Amino acid sequence: MTKTMKRIPAILVIVLLLLVSVSVPLASAASAPAVKNVILMIPDGMSVGGTTLARWYKGGTPLAMDEMACGLVRTYSSDAAIADSAPAATAFSTGFKSHTGYVAVLPDVADMPGLQPIARGDEKKPVATILEAAKLAGKATGLVVTCEIPHATPAAFSAHYPDRNNYDDILEQQVYSGTDVVLGGGSKYLTPEARKDKEDLIKVIKDLGYDYVTTPEALRKSTSNKLWGMFAPKDLSYDFDRDPAKQPSLAEMTSKAIEVLSKDKDGFFLMVEGSKIDWAAHANDPVGVISDILAFDNAVKVALDFAKKDKHTVVIAVTDHGNGGITIGDRETSKNYDELPLSIFIEPLKRAKLTGEGVEKKLNADRSNIKEVMATYYGITDLTKDEIKAIKEAKPGKLNYVVGPMLSKRAHIGWTTNGHTGEDVVLYVYSPTGDRPTGVIENIDIAKYMERILGLNLQETTKKLFVPAEAAFPARGARVEWDDSDPNNPVFVVTRDNDKLKLPINKNLAEINGKLVKMNGLTVYNGVTTFVPQEALDLMKALQ
* Nearest of 222, 226, 172, 163 to residue 194 by alpha carbon: 172
Q: List Cα–Cα distances, 355 to 359, 376, 470, in angstroms.
A: 6, 12, 51
Look at the alpha carbons of 367, 372, 377, 383 in this order and tell me if their dihedral is positive or negative.
Answer: positive
Q: Is 217 annotated as a binding residue?
A: no
Q: Is 211 annotated as a binding residue?
A: no
DSSP state of 109: -
**Quick check: 435 and 448 in contact, CB under 8 A?**
no
Q: Is 106 exposed, middle or buried (0-12, 13-18, 19+ CB in 10 A)?
A: buried
Q: Is 214 annotated as a binding residue?
A: no
Q: Is 235 annotated as a binding residue?
A: no
DSSP state of 237: P
Per DSSP bridges, beta strands 467-468 and 530-532 are: antiparallel
143/171 Cα distance (integer angstroms): 13
339-345 contact pairs (CB < 8 A, 24+):
340/412, 342/56, 344/411, 344/412, 345/53, 345/56, 345/411, 345/412, 345/413
Q: Is 320 annotated as a binding residue?
A: yes
Q: Which residues are bridge partners to 318 per DSSP? A: 427
Q: Is 321 annotated as a binding residue?
A: yes
174/470 Cα distance (integer angstroms): 24
326/430 Cα distance (integer angstroms): 27
Q: Is 278 annotated as a binding residue?
A: yes
Catalytic, out of 47, 78, 85, 249:
85
**In 234-250, which positions are buried (b, 16+ CB within 10 angstroms) versus exposed (e)?**
ebbbbbbbbeeeebbbb
85 is annotated as an active-site residue: yes
For the residues of 448-477, what is the DSSP string, one character each? Answer: HHHHHHTT--HHHHHHHH-EEHHHHTGGGT
**Quick check: 427 and 449 in contact, CB under 8 A?**
no
Look at the alpha carbons of 443, 313, 294, 242 in this order and tell me if their dihedral is positive or negative.
Answer: positive
* Nearest of 409, 340, 395, 339 to residue 367 by alpha carbon: 395
Q: Which residues are bridge partners to 427 per DSSP? A: 71, 318
* Nearest of 278, 281, 294, 291 to residue 377 by alpha carbon: 291
Q: Beta-carbon neighbour count of residue 165 at 10 Å?
A: 13
Helix (DSSP H) and strand (DSSP E) numbers for the chain = 20, 22
DSSP state of 190: G
- Residues with catalytic function: 85
Annotated binding site for Mg(2+): 44, 151, 153, 273
Binding-site residue ranges for Zn(2+): 44, 278, 282, 320-321, 420
Question: Which residues contribute to the annotated binding site?
Answer: 44, 151, 153, 273, 278, 282, 320-321, 420
